Structure 1
Amino acid sequence: MTFIRALYVSIRFWLTWLGFAVAFVLAYAFPVLLPLVQVALVVFGLLVIVEALLLFRPTPAKALFARREAPDRFSNGDENPVTIFLESRYPFRTPVEVIDEIPVQFQRRDVLFRATLSPRESQLIRYQLRPTRRGEYRFGALNVFVMTPLQLLKRRFRFDADRMVPVYPSFLQMRQYELLAATNRLNEVGIKRIRRIGHSMEFEQVRPYTPGDDIRTVNHRATARRTNPAGIELMVNAYQDERSQPVYCLIDKGRVMRAPFEGLTLLDYAINAALVLSNIALLKQDRAGILTFANEVNQVLPAERKPGQLQKILELLYRQRTGFLETDYESLTLKVRHTIRQRSLLLLFTNFDTANALNRQLPYLRRMAKDHLLLVVFFENTELRSLLDKPALTTEEVYMKTIGEKFSFEKRQIVRQLQQYGIQTILTAPQNLTANTVNKYLELKARGMI
């Protein structure tokens, strides 16, 4: 039974049988061809037997080795590398076909690779997978079909069956921002250099003046000591940002966050941005915390700066799911009031499509803004933007564009209305969410607002 389950025939085998059928039909009309066709059939049968013996040689377990090498966890929304290692132990050249049974969440049936292995040769096959949902992803078996140079029969080998890989929020994006922040190259991903308006009172050092420094920070005594016949070298006092400030990411998990964009939901974009921002806040010596809510407040992770805080944030965000109920901002306001006692930066990731939707929640936002610095982050409809950028050529397109302009105007009106009450806002496309959020955080830090 093991032999039968591992034995497959190739398309070349069936095409050869089709050729013999046609040859026998022709031999019926031309009898002189019959002996030749019969001899060819016998030779073909012998070749099939020899090929089967070569494929199923006496040491079947050592004939071929394969292994799938994948990360212990995948990063949501990113391209994750997967490597297939192949090693042939056959004494002849072997064409192989590799079919990897990837998780059903990807809905792909084209993960087929072909290669040719020389005797005792090993090869690597690399491909990438981009998950769009967090959770557990299960790989099936790694199927390797081995053939001889005749390629009439195939022998199937199965490796690495039933492996589970969890998909976490985008930690690859987090590491990218962390590396760029460490090397002062955040501008490469759209992070702007913020001119400092004022400064905190935490003195750091005295350093030489550089263009752009506030002239009010000149240290006259240090400048006098550095003055020499060659000229005057200005020295300025450098101040560091306020540290250990609480930064909370409030993540809305209601139905408004189920909207998809490029395979990911708005909740996934918010979670990826919250993870990156929390890491940047910890690098800036601030305290990072998370609060998730929908029709009720679900989970609260107090803002801390302990070594394991980032891992706690990652594990908390991994389990978040959107619901179908409307968000309850009243319970959020009460929870914030009783849980977060110190003035903090609150980044609220949500979405408002109309001014009426904002007006229903505005009293609760204003109440939170009294005690904390509130930053509301919501999303621009990119499909609507592409519709508005195209010229209207028909009457229907004119009506569609007019309706689109109304929705776009309401988004801008929401921004102005929030700013009237001193609430900071970010209106951004989903793909720019992380960069714009980090920019705003650094701007607020530079302005000394937190």
Structure 2
Amino acid sequence: MPNSTTEAIGHLANYPWLLLAVVLLPLVIVALVRKTYPSRLWIGLLIIPAALSLAVTLTDAWAYAVIAVDAVILLVGLVDYLMLPGSRGLTAERQLVRTASIGAPTSVDLTVINRGSRSLRGSVRDDLPEGFLSSPEQHPLLLPSRSQLTFRRRLTPLRRGVAELTTVYLEVVSGLRLWRRHIELPCESKLNVYPDMKQLSDYALLARQDRLSLIGVRQSRRIGQDNDFERLRDYSRDDNYRHIDWRTTARRNKLTVRQFQTDQSQRVIFMLDCGRMMTNEHDGMTLLDHALNSFLMMAHVALARGDAVGMLCFSDRIHAYIPPRTGKAQMNRLLQAGFNQFPQLFESRFDKAFLYLSNHCKQRSLVVMATNVIDEVNAGQVTDYLSNLVGKHLPLGILLRDHQLFDAADHPSSDPQRLYRAAAAAEILCWRNQVIQDMKHSGVLAMDLFPEQMTAPLVNQYLEIKAKHLL
């Protein structure tokens, strides 16, 4: 018997790394099956048998020490592993608002409930969708058995759309800190992130103070505003007090206002291009983001003036259609239809979009479409389909500029490569100008704007259309 033991030790002496492999194999199995990993302390302890394994190559006497140390480490690690808490009895609940604005922080309360018999120690991290910032990113966790703990963080969305939070991640450590176990608790929540509506409140504030010129909006003089009397009606909160008919109010004993022809409801329809032409970015926002923000601003202005506003979202198919309506509730419908629209790498089907518009909008409307053109085929489609609306509707086409293209044309250099680049950019800009002129000659109202400077000129164009009664 002693001879057989000595022979086994002699074989181990010939393969010193086999002892280390015997220790590592259980760790690999546990990590793959139970999502449990050794801590740095556990890895540090493995240095001891590794060093002793090297000593075995010098003398067989160290083999007994290696076996003894391995047995102690395995026993301590096994006991500590068996005391490691599992996911049984653990649940998570999340409380957050249903809607948020892009760039605006919102509070999220996360509650971890431990119904088990073992305490938890480690850290907890809530789900973080792509394009979001979290402060803090994780929380320290010290949760006794049969208790619960609530954590609060600030979640800042940097992109609009529907954000899904599905999982809560826990990392618990064992009593001797030799093991770390990753636990995933299902907890599903949805957060609707809308575009920044601060511009709407700023507009309302400046309008009340008669300071719209600060944001580039010009007050257009309405032709026949106080001459084209239409009828008397009951006063509403949004009416101008100067239009109150005091004599009729005294007779009816009820506030009554005079309504003029310029207050009649007209229709505005936005065509939101969600195709590949709107994927370019500027200041971290796509052309579609800039167009949507400007459309919402103009919709706010139009609804405040009693006009009916609708929207058609399309790419290679029709994404959404909101029929033109008046009232404050229409703004919410437009937000719901547009906040989850993103540019897609598909060629926009203008034929489908304009055919759908023709079938669903029979009354004369101001049709506003913002897009980008890069070749003659794309430009020809935009020009042709907008021109076909002339007579039945009033089309307004907006071509969004590319900063890189204009910078290259505006800053030529003596360097041959940059000089050729500037010449090519200038040729493209001349072609774009010709496209704009062709649209205007066919009766289309056309604008050529930088995406971040689109809002004020668009609102001014709308006010000018209203003032001149072009609809």
Query: Structure 1 residues 41, 382: CA separation in 2 closer, same or farther (over 3 Å shift)?
Result: same
Give me the whole-angstrom Cα distance separating, in 2, the residues matched to 1:408 and 1:303. 35
1:430 and 1:409 map into 2 onto residues whose CA distance is: 19
Give the corresponding residue for 2:50: 21
**Would the aligned equivalents of 2:120 and 2:172 in 1 still touch at CA under 8 Å?**
no
**Offset of 1:23 from its aligned partner?**
4.6
Q: Quick check: 1:181 aligned with 2:181?
A: no
Q: Does 1:124 align with 2:152?
A: yes
Instruction: Give the corresponding residue for 1:375.
Output: 396
Look up the match of 2:19: none
1:287 aligns with 2:277: no
- Shift in alpha-carbon separation, 1:312–1:92, aligned structure 2, 3 A: closer
Equivalent of 1:9 in 38, 46, 49: 38
Whole-Å Cα distance in 2 between the matches of residues 239 and 70 of structure 1?
46
Match of 2:125 in 1: 98
Q: Which runs of 5+ in 1 are unaligned?
A: 208-237
Deviation at 1:145, TM superposition (A): 0.8
1:171 corresponds to 2:173: no
Matched with 2:251 is: none
State the 1:277 CA deviation: 3.4
Aligned mate of 1:191, from 211, 215, 224:
215
Per chain length, whose mean CA-contact separation is higher, i.e. which structure has more relative contact order (CA < 8 Å, sep 6+)?
1
Q: What is the count of residue pairs matched by the alignment?
A: 406
Contact 1:99 1:112 in 2 (8 A): no
Q: 1:194 to 1:94 in 2, by over 3 A?
A: same
SS of corresponding position for 1:160:
strand
Distance in 2 separating the partners of 1:254 and 1:117: 46
Letter in 2 for 1:117: L
Question: Does structure 1 retain, via aligned residues, the 8 Å contact 2:131–2:158?
Answer: no
How far the C-alpha of 1:288 sits from its partner, in A, is 0.7
What does residue 85 of structure 1 align with? 110
User: 1:407 — aligned with what?
Assistant: 428
Aligned residue in 1 for 2:298: 277
Q: 1:150 to 1:384 in 2, by over 3 A?
A: farther
Q: What is the RMSD computed on CA atoms of the aligned residues?
A: 5.1
Identity percentage of aligned residues:
19
CA distance in 2, matches of 1:25, 1:296: 69
Trace 1:294-443 onto structure 2 (pairs within 5 A). Answer: 301-306=322-327, 308-317=329-338, 318=340, 324-325=346-347, 327-328=349-350, 332=354, 340-353=361-374, 358=379, 362=383, 364-388=385-409, 392=413, 394-420=415-441, 423-434=444-455, 436-443=457-464
Listed as ranges, the matches of 1:56-71 within 5 Å are: 56=85, 61=89, 66-69=92-95
For 1:182, the aligned partner's letter is A
Report the more deviating stretch, 38-47 or 297-306: 38-47
Q: What does residue 14 of structure 2 align with?
A: none
Cα deviation code 1:239-261 (max 9, x no counterpart): 99635221111234555445566
Question: Which whole-Å deviations, capped at 9, do the CAs of 1:112-169 have from their partners, x for residues lacking one?
Answer: 945433566653344445447x6x66555322111257532123332235x37476xx
SS of residue matched to 2:272:
strand
Q: Secondary structure at the match of 1:195?
A: coil
Contact 1:82–1:129, Cα closer than 8 Å, also in 2: no
Q: 1:141 aligns with which of 132, 154, 167?
A: 167
1:389-418 CA deviation, whole Å, 9 max, x = no partner?
Answer: 555353222212210121123333433444
1:379, distance to aligned residue in structure 2 (A): 1.2
Match for residue 185 of structure 2?
Answer: 159
Structure-2 change in CA distance of 1:297 and 1:165 (3 Å): closer
Conservation of the 8 A alpha-carbon contact between 1:354 and 1:407: no
CA distance in 1, matches of 2:65, 2:137: 38
Contact kept? 1:68, 1:85, Cα under 8 Å: yes
Task: Give the alignment's TM-score, normalised by structure 1.
Answer: 0.67
Distance 1:338 1:84, change over 3 A: closer
AA of the residue aligned to 1:116: P
TM-score normalised by the chain length of structure 2:
0.65
Aligned amino acid, residue 94 of structure 1: R
Matched with 1:212 is none
Does the 8 Å contact 1:253/1:327 carry over to 2?
no
Paired amino acid for 1:374: P
SS of aligned partner of 1:21: helix
Q: Distance in 2 between matches of 1:28 and 1:297?
A: 75
Amino acid at match of 1:171: Y
Does the CA-based 8 Å contact 2:350-2:381 persist in structure 1? no
Stretches of structure 2 lacking an aligned partner (at least 5 in a row): 1-28, 230-239, 244-258
CA displacement 1:21-44 (0-9 Å, x = unmatched): 125535876999999988876765
Change in CA separation of 1:99 and 1:358 when aligned onto 2, cut-off 3 Å: closer
Secondary structure of 2:309's partner? strand
Letter in structure 1 aligned against 2:194: F
Matched residue type, 1:61: G
